[in-house]
Amino acid sequence: MKVAYKHLINFIPSKPSIEDISNKLFQLGHEHEVYEEIFDMDLTPNRGDCLSINGLLRDLAVFFETIPFGEIYDGDIKPYEIDFINKAPKACPHISFLKIDIDEDIKPYEGLLQGYFNDLNLNKNNFFTDISNYISYETGQPTHCYDANKINKVISLEIIKGDYEFEPLVGEKIELIGENLAFLEGNNVINLAGIMGGLDTSCSSDTKSVIVECAYFDPEIILGKSIKYNINSDAAYKFERGVDPLCHEKVLRRFIKIVENHANIKNIEVFNKDYLKFSSNPISFDEKKLNKILGTLINKNEIQNHLRKLGFSITDDKIFPPSHRADIKTNNDIAEEIARVQGYNNIQPSPLEIYSLDNDHEDSKLLEKNIQNHLIENGFFEVINNPFVKNETPNSIKVYNPLDLNRKYLRTDLENSLIDNLLYNEKRQHDSVKLFEISNVYFSSSEIKKKKILGIICSGRVGKNFVDFSKKIDKDYLINLLKSLSSGIEINPKLVPREDLDSKSKNEIVYLEIELDDLRGYGIEDKCGASKKLSNDSFIKYKPISNFPSSTRDLSFSIKDNKGYYDLQKYILNFKHHLIKEIFIFDFFINKKNNNEIKLGVRIIFQSKTATITDKQVNNIMQIIKEHTISINGVSIPGLNRC
Amino acid sequence: MSNLDNVDPPLISKVKGSLHPINQVKDYLINMLAQMGFHEVDGPEIESEEFNFDMLNIKKSHPARQMHDTFYVKNKGYVLRTHTSPVQIRSMLKSKPPLAITSAGKVYRKDDDATHLPMFHQVEGIYVDEDVTFANLKDLIHQILHNLFGNDVEIRFRPSYFPFTEPSAEVDILSENGKWLEILGCGIVNPIVLENCKIDSNKYSGLAFGLGVERIAMLKYGVNDIRDFYKSNLDFLNQFK
């Protein structure tokens, strides 16, 4: 909801600054943004009563003297003998109809009405609809205007069932499905109650005789209808959150006043009926209890003062919330009102000692933690995947309202998620991928069943060092890895065939999936893992990763000097350049037949964060490395002449 | 002339992997709260409407229960939990006060855009005892935020609305660029919720709070795009060793 600052201060004689009002609205819990002197309010769903100028003023009244309501028509009004039948009094316990006839001439808009359209940059419609929209903005009460000359039969309000056609004021004709609360003229739906009126009976610029409907609808009957029929409706938004059931007379008199300011009124009649009696449920007034909830020492007078300014009536032992505060039911609600007025930030924190009877707990996650640690120590990365999948599997659970057709079911295993993760990384030039995930999966049977499973996937080189570089991951690698955690573990990983995958690699994909509980009894949970615990100063600062391809170069060195051997390693492994992603030694060999000559293979991976790296960039860096390394005593690069 | 004697082979530095950064932050929060006296309890990700909504005073008319906000599964009486609060309900039904528990894990909402994911993680805590006050809640929240963001962090409480707490608050911290950032929601447990769990609300009161793990992780690590956490990109994961 957008509210102009200048409209608010029309009702606040002290004219506080925009910052003052903004600060007070925040203190009261009314979140908003301010731009060009407009408050763009983001109100919580329990505060439908604040969706108007008057609503915000009612809350601001605790800080500023306010004019609570605009000028109203205070003359006599004749009763309106309307042909109306309310067949849904529970859904609409309070309703009024106002009939106004005016002369031909309508003055240009002035005052608040003019400001509403100009300051909020809104489009005008027709005289009565424009006033109706303004009244909703100022008072929070939606009204609906029918052209009186277009109503010829009895109007009824009823909950209709079955298929009806309805053409709203805005948008295309719709089919009403299921139960709907609607106003009918004969058998025709003329208004989808609380949502939007119909085109057939709507006002136009020619309308000089209007019937203004002003009603209270049960929020539950309105809820969800505007979404169901894709109708964007300010009225529905307000009715869903609840409006003031007792405001009709004041609102309609305000309506008349604005009409009177712009046209000559020939006739006014009003119909008003309460089908159910409104009662405000009193809450016991117990200032000790209120202070106990908040942890404060606010005296009774101050509490009374705060509440009275918010429109509450108070006796010695009872608090009566005003009719617009349907959200206030308990002492906790009252405590929140007091806290808002005091300011949450003005309540002093008070320490407490947490004591729990139920504090003696073994760490039930030791098994999971020790498996995680073992895998991490061996180069595996944990991933987390969301559970939504496209295809149904036996016993999979269906999502009734999926985000899209590719996410209709919940996965019953982790395999496809982990295969996707592996292929994603292979496409990003990773020649060694080791991943795992631990997750619950759910199955449907007579009841919902849960399993916590571990999925491990790996493929490519065993490691990035001279011992493991040439070894490829196979089933034995994974079997031995888990046996090194506990020798008794018997597992049977499988090979995932690559034929059906979008992949060019020939490396075997090894996959294991096992229920975590099946790994109990091997002593894993008894191991004292050196699990890494994040401390507050160990949060790294993330550096955005590159989305560009990398480029790889290998260098093979011949070394014939002890010191040169160590100097070369020191230089090359510590070489830094912003275009170098990784350097490691992938080959080491002592040629005993050639005076113990050492062969050292080094792999250098280049990558730019801003563009695809060029050969020229790579060659320039390689040149620096080559020049330096061959200057080290006893080091040469076969095939490269020393300059 | 060669002067090679016995040389040591190059060091084989063992390349370690890492726990997922979201789980690292989740564990950090759980450990921090454990030191304050809370213990962790687990619960299912598929919940009945009763535990996910009704017991928490979230009425049938609440917008959060609509099909566009919540994933419904099986025979529509079940949902993918929209918060970890149902775990606390189960604990309150099972144990008597005083009790101090945290619940952590995956939660689901029907959102999928640049800043919202259909699956994310929460850590929630609840403490129920005699005479637990809003002032106590403020002190606890200060402790949590000082631990996370340092003792000098500026903290702001704002009134808010959650059906399961009353009074309710949202808490902001002042960021380095001078903007307030919403960091958690909290409140005094609504007596209706205590009564739903057969806890005498005249004798006991409670405080509750909930933290979004991704939000904390983004702030602590400086990750700007929440979606990065779930691409399973090894270059990304490799930074969180």
Quick: pLDDT tens for A445-460: 888 899 999 999 999 9
Q: Are A371 and A524 in contact (CB under 8 A)?
A: yes
- Please enumerate in sequence order all residues whose Cβ is within 8 A of that of A99, keeping only pairs 6 or more positions apart, or say none: A80, A82, A148, A209, A210, A211, A212, A267, A268, A269, A270
CB contact under 8 A, A377 and B14: yes
Angle between helices B213-221 and B134-149 (to 10 degrees): 40
How many Å separate Cα A242 from the centre of its chain? Answer: 24
CA–CA dist A99, A147 (Å, integer): 10
CATH architecture of A78-274: 3-Layer(bba) Sandwich (3.50)
Residues shown for chain A? 643
CA distances from A33 to A20, A51, B104 (A): 14, 15, 32
Q: Are A355 and B37 in contact (CB under 8 A)?
A: yes
Determine contact: A428 vs chain B, CB below 8 A: yes
Q: How confident is the model at residue A643 (pLDDT cuts 50, 70, 90)?
A: very low
Which residue type occupies A33? E
Percent with pLDDT over 90 in chain A: 84
How many Å separate Cα B23 from the centre of its chain? Answer: 11
CATH architecture of A551-636: 2-Layer Sandwich (3.30)
Residue A253 has pLDDT above 80, yes or no: yes
The H or E element spanning position A370 is helix A366-377
CB contact under 8 A, A293 and B131: no
- Check if CATH label 3.90.226.10 holds for domain B21-40+97-240: no
How high is the pLDDT of residue B5?
63
Q: Are A365 and A373 in contact (CB under 8 A)?
A: no
- Please enumerate in sequence order all residues whose Cβ is within 8 A of that of B237, keeping only pairs 6 or more positions apart, or say none: A381, A382, A383, B17, B18, B20, B21
CB contact under 8 A, B67 and A442: no
Q: How confident is the model at residue A592 (pLDDT cuts 50, 70, 90)?
A: confident
How high is the pLDDT of residue A280?
80
CA–CA dist B163, B193 (Å, integer): 9
Determine contact: A403 vs chain B, CB below 8 A: yes
CA–CA dist B40, B33 (Å, integer): 9
Domain boundaries, chain A: 2-60, 78-274, 283-344, 366-526, 551-636
Touching B: A residues 255-274, CB under 8 Å: none
Using CA of residue A368, residue A374, residue A375, residue A381, what is the dihedral sign?
positive
Strand A179-185 versus strand A188-192 pairing type: antiparallel
Determine contact: A107 vs chain B, CB below 8 A: no
CB contact under 8 A, B234 and A532: no
Touching B: A residues 280-339, CB under 8 Å: 292-296, 330, 332-333, 335-336, 339
**Residue of B22, B26, B134 to mutate, testing the A interface (most A Cβ within 10 Å of its Cβ):** B134
Residue B6 has pLDDT above 90, yes or no: no
Determine contact: A434 vs chain B, CB below 8 A: yes
Q: How confident is the model at residue A359 (pLDDT cuts 50, 70, 90)?
A: low
Residue B66 has pLDDT above 80, yes or no: no
Rounded average pLDDT over A479-483: 95
The Cα diameter of chain A in Å comes to: 120
Q: How confident is the model at residue B114 (pLDDT cuts 50, 70, 90)?
A: confident
How high is the pLDDT of residue B3?
55
CB contact under 8 A, A541 and B167: no
Mean pLDDT of chain A: 93
What is the ipTM metric for this complex?
A: 0.95
Touching B: A residues 210-229, CB under 8 Å: 219-220, 223-224, 227
How high is the pLDDT of residue A371?
95
Residue B116 has pLDDT above 80, yes or no: yes
CA distances from A86 to A93, A155, A275, A300, B28 (A): 9, 9, 9, 45, 60
Rounded average pLDDT over B126-145: 97
What are A287-344's pLDDT values in tens digits?
999 999 999 999 999 999 999 999 999 998 999 999 999 999 999 999 999 999 999 9
Residue B1 has pLDDT above 70, yes or no: no
Report the b/e string of A553-588 with b at 16+ CB within 10 A: eebebbbbbbebbebbbeebeebeeebbbebbbbbb
Start-to-end C-alpha separation, chain B: 45
Q: Are A331 and A284 in contact (CB under 8 A)?
A: yes
CB contact under 8 A, A344 and B169: yes
CATH architecture of A2-60: 2-Layer Sandwich (3.30)
What are A151-187's pLDDT values in tens digits?
999 999 999 998 899 999 988 899 999 999 999 999 9
What are A503-544's pLDDT values in tens digits?
889 999 999 999 999 998 888 887 765 556 677 777 889 999
Rounded average pLDDT over A114-123: 96
How many Å separate Cα B125 from the centre of its chain? Answer: 8
Determine contact: A534 vs chain B, CB below 8 A: yes
Task: Look up residue B71 and give its DSSP letter.
Answer: -
Rounded average pLDDT over A11-16: 97
Q: Of the candidates B73, B139, B159, which has its C-beta nearest A397's C-beta?
A: B73
Report the b/e string of A402-435 with b at 16+ CB within 10 A: beeeebbbbbbbbbebbbbbbbbbbebebebbbb
Q: Of the candidates B3, B222, B237, which has its C-beta nearest A561's C-beta?
A: B3
What are B14-35's pLDDT values in tens digits?
889 999 999 999 999 999 999 9
Pick the CATH number of A283-344 from 3.40.50.150, 3.30.56.10, 2.40.280.10, 3.40.50.720: 3.30.56.10
Alpha-carbon torsion angle B94, B100, B106, B112, nearest 10: 120
CA–CA dist A389, A387 (Å, integer): 6
Residue A490 has pLDDT above 60, yes or no: yes
Q: Which residue of A has its CA nearest to B101?
A: A356
Pick the CATH number of A366-526 from 3.30.930.10, 3.40.50.970, 3.60.150.10, 3.30.70.1710: 3.30.930.10
Backbone angles phi, psi at A596, to 5 degrees: 55, 30
Which of A390-394, A452-456, A637-641, B43-47 is predicted least confidently?
A: A637-641
Q: How confident is the model at residue A361 (pLDDT cuts 50, 70, 90)?
A: low
Peptide bond into B98 cis (omega under 30): yes
Same-fold call for A78-274 versus A366-526: no
- Show the CA angle centred on residue A461, arms to residues A458 and A464, nearest 5°: 120
Minimal CA separation from B134 to chain A, in Å: 5
CB contact under 8 A, B117 and A388: no
CB contact under 8 A, B67 and A400: yes
CB contact under 8 A, B131 and A354: no
CA–CA dist B241, B227 (Å, integer): 19
Minimal CA separation from A43 to chain B, in Å: 9
**Residue of A539, A584, A589, A607 to mutate, testing the B interface (most B Cβ within 10 Å of its Cβ):** A539
- 3 state DSSP class of A587: strand
Structure tokens at B185: 């929601």
Chain A residues in contact with B236 by the CB 8 A cut-off are: 545
